Amino acid sequence: MTEAPQGTISDAEVGPQQGQEAPGAAPQHDLFVDAQAKIQRTMDAKVEKVRADESITPAESYQQIAEISREAEGVHHRVREAYERDLKAAEEECENNLFAVDPISRNSVRQSYEMVHAATALGFESGEREGLEFAHKELERLETRARRTGDSALMTAVGQIALERGVEEIRDRYLAANKEKRRAFAKLGEVAALRADWEDKHRNLERTLKGVGVLVRPHELG
């Protein structure tokens, strides 16, 4: 009679799920690589137990090894999906931190933002040099007005538009005046770069060739 498999691999055996920690900035995707390595070790150890079991037939050994491999592939797939969700969630969290406004100032910043957006959107979205130049000058004018009048809500709105539109000079001045936003912007850059690297087809091919993203199947399965 066929015995039950020596053991299958569960998500719990992999350790903490990807997402209980914020992904780091290292391009090697250490969290995912470490999780994959643990899945591989767990699968290999269980396969070795089956190979060493002299009480079962070769057919039973093959069946149990195939089941262990199938379970490992399932865990690996779920960990990969979780890692991708975590990258997206981390980027969204960084964006939220970058654009966060304290509750007391929220209404005034919203009103200022709507005003700045209305004054510059047409130029930014025109796709023409003259339109872009007009929008940049208008944003600079509003920045100067906010600085001279001490209008912090307007300055925040101008900074947010500069961040969204990629107006580097105004963006950098806004960030230079706010350490918290400067750190949030740097963190967003790290996480966005990590996610872009993960989604890049060429980098994915490079990682696959290095064994990242794939499990080594037991030799019995071909």
Q: In three state form, how does the secondary structure of the chain look?
A: CCCCCCCCCCHHHHCCCCCCCCCCCCCCCHHHHHHHHHHHHHHHHHHHHHHHCCCCCHHHHHHHHHHHHHHHHHHHHHHHHHHHHHHHHHHHHHHHHHHCCCCCCHHHHHHHHHHHHHHHHHHHCCCCHHHHHHHHHHHHHHHHHHHHHCCHHHHHHHHHHHHHHCCHHHHHHHHHCCHHHHHHHHHHHHHHHHHHHHHCHHHHHHHHHCCCCCCCCCHHHC
In this predicted structure, what is the pLDDT of residue 27? 55
CA distance 19 to 85: 8
Between the alpha carbon of residue 103 and those of residues 100, 109, 127, the distances in Å are 9, 10, 35
Q: Which amino acid, residue 154?
A: L
pTM of the model: 0.75
| pLDDT at residue number 222 | 82
Is 182 part of any domain? no
Give 9's pLDDT tier (boundaries 50, 70, 90): very low
Task: Calculate mean pLDDT across residues 98-114.
Answer: 97
Please tell me whether residues 147 and 171 are part of one structural domain.
Answer: yes
State whether 108 and 143 are in the same domain: yes
217 φ/ψ sector (left φ>0, alpha ψ -120 to 50, else beta): beta
Percent of the chain with pLDDT over 70: 87
* Domain span holding position 44: 28-96+200-214
Are 59 and 81 contained in the same domain? Answer: yes
Q: How confident is the model at residue 25 (pLDDT cuts 50, 70, 90)?
A: very low
Residue 16 pLDDT more than 50? Answer: no
Number of domain units in the chain:
2
Give tens-digit pLDDT for 43-70.
999 999 999 999 999 999 999 999 999 9
Tokens of 199: 């989604």
Residues 69 and 115 in one domain: no
Spatial distance between the Cα atoms of 159 and 112, rounded to a whole number of angstroms: 11
One domain, residues 76 and 36? yes
